[in-house]
Structure 1
């Protein structure tokens, strides 16, 4: 596995490799599309943050996370399991997210989800371990691997912003689905995670030009 995405130097190395491998990535770089490193803490806290943010706006996710962290101290699996469903729902978690995070906490404590060791695995292996947990889908697994572990080859092919950015950047007739985008991303190995960051940055740039919220 390539070096983890923990420094700007590694990010720049990945960007250089992408530009050499793909003329479109080279063009985006020449146009000034520059992603940020953006990393979150690994472990239960980082995975919980991602689950909280599923299918809600950034503002809502931030507010819910703030209320959850106010009652979740320390942010550990043990502390989460000690909280009642009522207090978690009062913080803003849906019933589904409560079930998911209880499943995550249980899997960690019972040794079936070794979050501390996922960075040593290939992206596909780590992804498979995460998605075995009830409520953790492919998008959540890939975003955790990319933003919490800094895995350079994790690729959230189901992310709508990444798909739309790929459509625009590559002049495609329609937005690629997860399967089509996964095939397109083969050219970016072992830096697919950096490519995803480029596409997110490009998406924000396009939306800013259009005057729409990114």
Structure 2
């Protein structure tokens, strides 16, 4: 199979190309495509606000996390690290942040190299990170407390549009694949990693197909 360049970002054109490749590789994925049509590309703008939103989405429903994020954006109209750090614990709790998410998101904001932020440690430059390879990005992001593989995977997949990222810790994807393949038990992250090797280098496209399938089926 022709390998895509490691730093190539998905576009609508390459998404379509990846879908065609996957449909030939896997009849179950072909069935999703035939029944439901192509999935959205589900892109997000790279940067602080998106990474903060993904942290909010950890271990809660997307709807619940988006509600908190929307309330935050109503209080902080321009969501920058500096503006986020102005908010104290009481304000963030009123918006809907858990104590743990306050810790994680404040740590992220403090790590950003921002002008005028006396508390910034300058550990993380997301703009420079965009040009780096996946392993470097993963290592740098995981230095921050509260950022693990799932958060990195979603950021790589949706914000940086990397074509071969697969969020093996994503519950919706595990549920979708169990149903799609008629598996007796829900696959573990290790099993998902093994099962999806045949989909390289288009695993991020396969992930979108599985989310598409999950969202189109009763839970």
TM-score, normalised relative to structure 2: 0.85
Structure 2, unaligned stretches of length 5 or more?
A: 1-5, 114-120
2:81 match: 77
Alignment of 1:86 onto 2:87: no
1:4 match: 9
CA separation in 1, counterparts of 2:23 and 2:38?
12
Give the drift of 1:94: 0.8
Do the aligned partners of 2:47 and 2:126 also contact (CA within 8 Å) in 1? yes
Give the drift of 1:55: 2.8
Give the drift of 1:16: 1.4
CA separation in 2, counterparts of 1:21 and 1:119?
30
CA separation in 2, counterparts of 1:67 and 1:197?
27
Alignment of 1:15 onto 2:26: no
2:188 match: 177
2:155 match: 144
TM-align CA RMSD:
1.9
Give the drift of 1:129: 1.9
For residue 121 of structure 1, the aligned residue among 116, 123, 132 is 132
- Return the structure number with greater helix share: 1
Secondary structure (helix, strand or coil) at the match of 1:86 reads helix
CA separation in 2, counterparts of 1:137 and 1:39?
20
Do the aligned partners of 1:33 and 1:201 also contact (CA within 8 Å) in 2? no
Give the drift of 1:113: 2.1
> 20-29 or 178-187, which moves further after superposition?
20-29
2:202 match: 191
CA separation in 1, counterparts of 2:24 and 2:133?
23
Give the drift of 1:17: 2.1
Give the drift of 1:33: 4.5
Decide whether aligned partners of structure 1 residues 59 and 29 sit closer, same or farther in structure 2, where only a CA change above 3 A counts: closer
Secondary structure (helix, strand or coil) at the match of 1:37 reads coil
Give the drift of 1:199: 0.6
CA separation in 1, counterparts of 2:192 and 2:15?
22
Alignment of 1:168 onto 2:179: yes
Secondary structure (helix, strand or coil) at the match of 1:120 reads coil
2:211 match: 200
Structure 1, unaligned stretches of length 5 or more?
A: none
Report the number of matched residues.
207
Give the drift of 1:51: 1.6
CA separation in 1, counterparts of 2:78 and 2:92?
15
Give the drift of 1:15: 0.8
Secondary structure (helix, strand or coil) at the match of 2:196 reads helix
Do the aligned partners of 2:177 and 2:210 also contact (CA within 8 Å) in 1? yes
Secondary structure (helix, strand or coil) at the match of 2:36 reads coil
